[in-house]
Homo-oligomer: A and B are copies of this chain.
Amino acid sequence: MSRTETAARVPTLATVLDVIRERVTVSRVELAEATGLTAATITHAIRELIDVGFVHEVGTAASSGGTPRRLLELEPTACYTVGIQLDRFTATGVVVDLAGHIVARSSMAGAQEGEPAEVLRFVADHVNDLLATAAVPKSKVLGVGLATYGPQDRTAGVLLTAQPTASWLEYPLTETLSEALGVPVLIENDATAAAIGEEGLGGARSSFATVYMAGGIGAGVVLGGQPYRGATSNGVELGHISIDAFGPACSCGNRGCVENIAGPTAVVLKANTIPGLADRLRLRGDTVADFERIARAATSGDPDALSILEESAAVLGTATVSLVNLFDVARVVIAGAAFATAGPLYRDAAQAAVDRAAFMRFAHPVVVELSDHVSDAAAIGGAVAVLRRSFEARTARSGAPAGR
């Protein structure tokens, strides 16, 4: 029987920091009220956050009781984390400060058919460029979170798949990138990262699912602020559930997979079968760029492009219903580079699908939203995952209480 990776209780430091991030300046009393933590726990946490330079005092405010309250403020430049989202067709990098603001971002080419050593060299160069752009010294970088496809072994920092080429299988991704950059590197499933990016440090204790589409399709689930992990963090693989049990074989071993029927590659392939459409939309054989052209044409009213996207969105809507019917979430956030332009169309189709068919719609409504960071969610999540891990490690070391 497998050991389950149970979600750690939200570490106190992250909970406290989430509130400070949100309120800009805040007193200890307000923190206790907002978090439900005891005054002693807050005092302990703040002392630790001040010690490491994440938080400082910025004067006092009058309180109703007469005793002035010392106000606390975040030091956004105390440290930074880097998030990289990478799949076959898409890649994005972000540098995020302690306040959660993106201080540098850029898109780059995906892994394509590249060999891992070469792709990682390219990623490392890119991270160095991003840090240079933002004038962030390496000494202030807590680490890099690489949000990428699966299956993967997060602990070992390797992929358990021979995609896109055989040498990616068990290639030491985190080790190689960490050596190249001189900072710790972790890997995270891209769709799970998108969900983590949406939730932040976990202080909000939200529960929702993220439907993710970039080069492929995936999903992540957050429950009470913590990502759903299952046995090995290789679940919520929405792109590889069958919506056509006797449909076309997929390289994953399944048939009629959502990704093969509705993903960007399938959409572009379909567009190329319609006489004249490829020429009209100037498709050029690059999946991401072509998908984006189809999306723009669809939103501009091209009936063929619209019809292709609507078909894909209907399938993803059906998959969303499956996700909701299995996980019973009340909120679905759609995120990923493929939704940059087509997001509203997919969101509306998914909302219509859950309104029509979510099994528990009489128990509670299910709302489908487009992420505020639709293209960057997974990269942001990679960066947030690094900060979460550092807090988890710090909480474990300091023995600070982890619950409310």
A50 at the interface (CB under 8 A from B): no
A216 smallest CB distance to B (angstroms): 12
Contact: B237 with A359, CB < 8 Å? yes
Residue of B nearest to A315 (CB): B245
The answer for the CA separation of A364 and B233 in the assembled complex, in Å, is 11
Contact: A241 with B331, CB < 8 Å? no
A253 at the interface (CB under 8 A from B): yes
Contact: A360 with B242, CB < 8 Å? no
Size of interface on A: residues with Cβ below 8 Å to B: 61
A167 smallest CB distance to B (angstroms): 16
The answer for the CA separation of A161 and B236 in the assembled complex, in Å, is 28
Q: What 11 additional pairs, Cβ within 8 angstroms, besides A234-B360, A235-B327, A242-B318?
A: A160-B363, A223-B230, A230-B329, A231-B360, A231-B363, A236-B328, A237-B360, A243-B256, A245-B261, A254-B318, A254-B359
Contact with B along A140-154 (1 / 0, CB 8 A): 000000000011110
A286 smallest CB distance to B (angstroms): 27
A4 at the interface (CB under 8 A from B): yes
CB-defined A-B contacts under 8 Å, sample of 17: A1-B330, A3-B207, A6-B224, A160-B360, A231-B330, A231-B360, A234-B359, A237-B360, A240-B357, A241-B321, A242-B243, A242-B322, A244-B244, A244-B245, A245-B261, A245-B315, A253-B358
**Contact partner of A327 among B224, B326, B363, B364, CB < 8 A?**
B326
Q: Within residues 352 to 368 of chain A, which ones have a CB less than 8 A from any CB in chain B?
A: 356-364
With a cutoff of 8 Å between Cβ atoms, the chain B residues found around residue A136 in the complex are none
The answer for the CA separation of A235 and B356 in the assembled complex, in Å, is 16
A323 at the interface (CB under 8 A from B): yes
With a cutoff of 8 Å between Cβ atoms, the chain B residues found around residue A161 in the complex are 362
Q: Within residues 1 to 21 of chain A, which ones have a CB less than 8 A from any CB in chain B?
A: 1-4, 6
With a cutoff of 8 Å between Cβ atoms, the chain B residues found around residue A233 in the complex are 328
With a cutoff of 8 Å between Cβ atoms, the chain B residues found around residue A255 in the complex are 318, 357
A325 at the interface (CB under 8 A from B): yes
